Amino acid sequence: MRQFLRLLKILFTIWRFGLLRIVRDSLKPGLIKVILTALAWITPGSYTRGQSLRLALEALGPIFVKFGQVLSTRRDLLPTDIADELAKLQDQVPPFSEEKSLSLVEASLGKKISEVFISFDRTPTASASVAQVHFAVLKGTQKYPEWEGRQVAVKVLRPGILSVIESDLALLKVLAGLVEKLWRDGKRLKPRENVEEFDTYLHDELDLMREASNASQLRRNFEGSKKLMIPEMYWDLCGLNVMVMERMYGIPISKLDQLKAAGIDLKKLAADGVEIFFTQVFQDGFFHADMHPGNIFVSVAPETFGRYIALDFGIVGALSDSDKNYLAQNFLAFFNRNYRRVAELHIESGWVPKETRVEELEGAVRAVCEPYFDRPLKEISLGIVLMRLFQASRRFNVEIQPQLTLLQKTLLNIEGLGRQLDPDMDLWKTAKPVLERWVDQQIGIRGFIDRLKDEAPQWAKLVPTIPRLIAKWLENHHEKSEDNIQELMLKLLNEQKQTRKLIWGSILFLGGLISGTLFTLTWLG
């Protein structure tokens, strides 16, 4: 029932904000178009198509807003008027009341605002689907006197967001079940598994302590980096609903004119972005998975000039060593145009059935990817490549891996960002050295040495015990040998007894037979 009511609300919102007009305009003449025209005619209000889509997504809640955020990064796929409106979803979602925000902060900290902060900006500087951010200045404490005067950003979770998300997730799970049952590609796409993955990420995003720990991990991974900055967390002031972190200063990545005016090298910035992404994925196996322009800034401070600033760490992706290995080798094989190796890796990883012919899969991958090599980023689309690979995968029953879906989304965001910064960038040449370096670290001489270093503590404990373990093994082996000899002797004795019985039986039988024969002959004679 709850899901049905949510579906009705979605349909009502679509009608209310005039989205039926957009759907109608895309249809061919017919009965459905006539019906939609009638319904659109009585729609309240008048909006442009970009406004209709943005307002509807805002009204429907976080899941729909995130969908709009993903679309907003792909200006190459959208008309300008729609892209401009959807860009507002990155950090300009209507905020909740100031009074509610202040009360949530005080409840989380257990203190009055004035007791913790020298100043607190009541008006949020940014507002997104899940939370909003206020700027403030900290007071020093007896424990942390160095906090005095530090500028911070206070992130506050949007109240009542959990029930909305759970309603949408429940509806998505129902739809996923229907897709799996009714669509021929349903089982291969694993819609229920993908929704479960999405469910996990969304609930993680509603826990600001988890977000703070994600930020801390990323900060540690990029400690000393000259390309990326991550804000510091103030753990004593963080809770489930409120998070306090270092305030970062920079220019939003979408403000290209401001970046150019500040002297930022956009080509270098684009190349650094690609390197950061591949480093997060393949070196760390832990990557920022919500990298839309609203969450990315560029520092113009003299000491950190030209470095990326990452914000909003609610959604992160994690990959196992096995996934990292297969992905890295797949990418490298792609970049080297070694399509046979791509096919072999898909079979080895279990992504396609083991009985798949390597030659056939190799040819299908070549047909999709070969046209896109040696082209600048502006002339290719990873989204289209992924779509065509997906279409080709039907033939070979390739199973979609839920753990990689978030990575694909992030990759599309990175591509959209790269298009804005440097449309002429050669993605292949930029990414290939990063992957080669990672592969060398993992399976080359350096990788072998690094793994030896990692295992050294365990070996240091084990090596002194080796003589004792060998002696114990020999002792056990000797005891087993003695036991085996005794067992063998018993078997031989038993066999000898059986043999003696057989011989005496045979002698008695033959003796009886001979005696009987002689008696018979004598009697007859």
Stretch 368-393: mean pLDDT: 69
pLDDT at 319: 81
- How is the chain split into domains, by residue range? 2-87, 253-443, 465-524
Residue 191 has pLDDT above 70, yes or no: no
Bridge partners for 288 per DSSP: 316
21-43: pLDDT as tens digits? 766 666 667 777 777 677 667 67
pLDDT beyond 80 at 64 = no
Q: Is the pLDDT of residue 44 over 60?
A: yes
What pLDDT is stored for residue 236 in this prediction? 92
Return the active site residues: 290
Site of tokens 């990959």: 319
What proportion of the chain, given as a percentage, has pLDDT over 70?
66
pLDDT at position 399: 62
pTM (2 d.p.): 0.71
Mean pLDDT of 99-118: 92
Provide the pairing of β-strand 251-252 with 242-246: unpaired
- Burial-class residue 479 by CB neighbours within 10 Å (0-12, 13-18, 19+): exposed
Q: Which pLDDT value is given to residue 151? A: 96
Higher pLDDT, 431 or 383: 431
Which tokens is 347 given?
Answer: 């079979």
Reading the block at residue 503, the tokens are 């011989």
Decide if pLDDT at 327 tops 80. Answer: no
Q: What is the mean pLDDT of the chain?
A: 77
Q: Got the DSSP string for 119-136? A: EE-SS-SEE-SSEEEEEE
Where is 166: in which H helix or E strand?
helix 161-182
Cα–Cα distance measured from residue 240 to residue 388, given in angstroms and rounded to the nearest whole number: 42
Q: Identify the pLDDT of residue 206.
A: 83
Report the share of the chain in percent with pLDDT over 90: 21
**pLDDT(480) > 60:** no
Task: Please report the pLDDT score of residue 383 as a whole number.
Answer: 59
**What does the pLDDT read at residue 402?**
59
More confident residue, 258 or 371: 258
Question: What is the model's pLDDT at position 490?
Answer: 67
Q: How many H-runs (helices) and E-runs (strands) does the chain carry?
A: 22, 11
Tokens standing for residue 45: 């209000």
> What's the pLDDT at 501?
59
Distance between CA atoms of 134 and 127, rounded to whole angstroms? 9
Is the pLDDT higher at 404 or at 340?
A: 340
pLDDT above 80: residue 46? no
The HSE-up count of residue 511 (CA atoms within 13 Å, CB side) is 6
DSSP-based three-state secondary structure for 219 = helix
> Residue 505: is its pLDDT beyond 60?
no
**What pLDDT does residue 129 have?**
77
How many beta carbons lie within 10 A of that of residue 48, not counting itself? 12
Write down the residue that tokens 């036991």 correspond to: 483
CA 151/CA 299 separation, integer angstroms? 16
